[in-house]
Amino acid sequence: MLWPYLAEFPGRVALALTFLVGAKVAGVALPLILKELVDGLSQPAHLAAPLGLLLLAYGALRFLNVLAGELRDVIFGRVQDRAMRRSALRVFNHLHGLDLDFHLSRRTGALSRDIERGVEGIRFLLRFALFNILPTFLEIGMVAAILWGKYSWDFAAVAFGAVVIYITFSVVVTEWRIDFVRRLNRLDSQANAHAVDSLLNYETVKYFGNEQWEATHYDHNLEQWENASARSRSSLSMLNVGQAFIIAAAITLMMWLAAVRVQAGTMTVGDFVAVNAFMVQLFIPLNFLGFVYREIRRAVTDMSRMFGLLDAHPGIADAPDAQPLVTNAPDVHFEHVRFDYGAGREILHDVTVDIPAGAKVAVVGASGAGKSTLARLLFRFYDVSGGSVKVSGHDVRTLTQASLRAHIGVVPQDTVLFNDTIYYNIAYGHPDATRAEVERAARQAHLANFIARLPDGYETLVGERGLKVSGGEKQRIAIARALLKNPPILILDEATSSLDSGAEAAILAALDEAARHRTTLAIAHRLSTVIDADAIFVLDAGRIVEHGRHHELLARGGAYARLWALQQSERSSAIPAS
Average pLDDT over residues 269-282: 78
Tell me the per-residue pLDDT of 200-215, one tens digit each, with 9 for 90 and over. 777 678 777 788 888 8
Alpha carbon distance 258, 513 (integer Å): 95
State the burial class of residue 326 (Cβ atoms within 10 Å of its Cβ: 0-12, 13-18, 19+): exposed
Tell me the per-residue pLDDT of 128-161, one tens digit each, with 9 for 90 and over. 766 667 777 777 777 777 778 777 788 888 888 8
* pLDDT band at residue 435 using 50, 70 and 90 as cut-offs: very high
Cβ atoms of 202 and 134 within 8 Å: the answer is no
Tell me the per-residue pLDDT of 285-314, one tens digit each, with 9 for 90 and over. 776 666 677 677 777 777 777 777 777 676
**pLDDT over 50 (residue 11):** yes
- Residue 478, pLDDT score: 85
- Residue 573, pLDDT score: 61
Average pLDDT over residues 9-20: 79
310's CB contacts (< 8 A; 6+ apart) are 90, 91, 94
Instruction: Give 411-457 as a DSSP string.
Output: E-SS----SSBHHHHHHTTSTT--HHHHHHHHHHTT-HHHHHTSTTG
Alpha carbon distance 477, 438 (integer Å): 11
Q: What SS3 class is residue 506?
A: helix
- Residue 13, pLDDT score: 77
Cβ atoms of 470 and 422 within 8 Å: the answer is no
Alpha carbon distance 17, 396 (integer Å): 53
**pLDDT over 80 (residue 491):** yes
User: Per residue, what are the HEC states of 41-59?
Assistant: HHCHHHCCCCHHHHHHHHH
* pLDDT band at residue 363 using 50, 70 and 90 as cut-offs: very high
- Residue 549, pLDDT score: 92
CA dihedral 414, 420, 422, 424 (to 10 degrees): -100
- What is the rounded radius of gyration, in angstroms, for the C-alpha atoms of the chain? 36
The number of angstroms, rounded, from the C-alpha of 284 to the middle of its chain's C-alpha atoms is: 36
- Residue 43, pLDDT score: 67
How many helices (H) and strands (E) the chain has is answered by 19, 10
Of the listed ranges 87-96, 414-423, 424-433, the least confidently predicted one is: 87-96
Alpha carbon distance 163, 286 (integer Å): 8
Per-residue burial over 209-235, b if 16 or more Cβ lie within 10 Å, else e, is eeeeebeeeeeebbebbeebbeebeeb
What 8-state DSSP symbol labels residue 575?
S
- Residue 334, pLDDT score: 93
Pairing of strands 346-355, 489-493: unpaired
Computed over every residue of the chain, the mean pLDDT equals: 80
Q: In what order do the strands lie in the sheet with 346-355?
A: 346-355, 332-340, 386-391, 394-395
CA angle (436, 408, 502) in 5-degree steps: 65
- Residue 164, pLDDT score: 85
Of the listed ranges 43-52, 344-353, 368-377, 436-445, the least confidently predicted one is: 43-52
Structural domains of the chain in order of their starting residue, each with its CATH number: 3-311 (1.20.1560.10), 318-328+339-407+488-578 (3.40.50.300), 413-486 (3.40.50.300)
* CA distances in angstroms from 355 to 2, 184, 363, 546, 559, listed in the order given: 50, 54, 11, 15, 21
- Residue 49, pLDDT score: 58
What 8-state DSSP symbol labels residue 558?
S
Instruction: Give 382-417 as a DSSP string.
Output: S--SEEEEEETTEEGGGB-HHHHHHTEEEE-SS---
Tell me the per-residue pLDDT of 306-342, one tens digit each, with 9 for 90 and over. 777 777 676 778 888 889 988 888 999 999 999 887 7
CA atoms within 13 A on the CB side of 553: 26
* Percent of the chain predicted with pLDDT > 90: 8
* pLDDT band at residue 536 using 50, 70 and 90 as cut-offs: very high
**pLDDT over 60 (residue 446):** yes
- Residue 571, pLDDT score: 65
Q: Which ranges constitute the DSSP H helices of 43-152?
A: 51-97, 100-104, 108-124, 134-146
- Residue 397, pLDDT score: 92
Alpha carbon distance 247, 166 (integer Å): 8
Q: Which of 183, 135, 143 is nearest to 16 (CA)?
A: 135
Q: Which of 564, 568, 565, 563 is nearest to 540 (CA)?
A: 563
CA angle (482, 486, 489) in 5-degree steps: 85
- Residue 429, pLDDT score: 86
**pLDDT over 80 (residue 577):** no
* Percent of the chain predicted with pLDDT > 70: 87
Tell me the per-residue pLDDT of 23-48, one tens digit each, with 9 for 90 and over. 777 777 777 777 777 777 776 655 55
**pLDDT over 60 (residue 574):** no
pTM beyond 0.85 = no
332's CB contacts (< 8 A; 6+ apart) are 353, 354, 355, 378, 389, 390, 391, 489, 519, 521
Alpha carbon distance 398, 406 (integer Å): 15
Alpha carbon distance 356, 534 (integer Å): 10
User: Per residue, what are the HEC states of 152-203?
Assistant: CHHHHHHHHHHHHHHHHHHHHHHHHHHHHHHHHHHHHHHHHHHHHHHHHCHH
Q: What SS3 class is residue 122?
A: helix
Average pLDDT over residues 460-483: 79
Average pLDDT over residues 233-248: 83
- Residue 308, pLDDT score: 72
**pLDDT over 50 (residue 22):** yes
Q: What SS3 class is residue 313?
A: coil
* pLDDT band at residue 578 using 50, 70 and 90 as cut-offs: very low
CA dihedral 135, 137, 140, 145 (to 10 degrees): -100
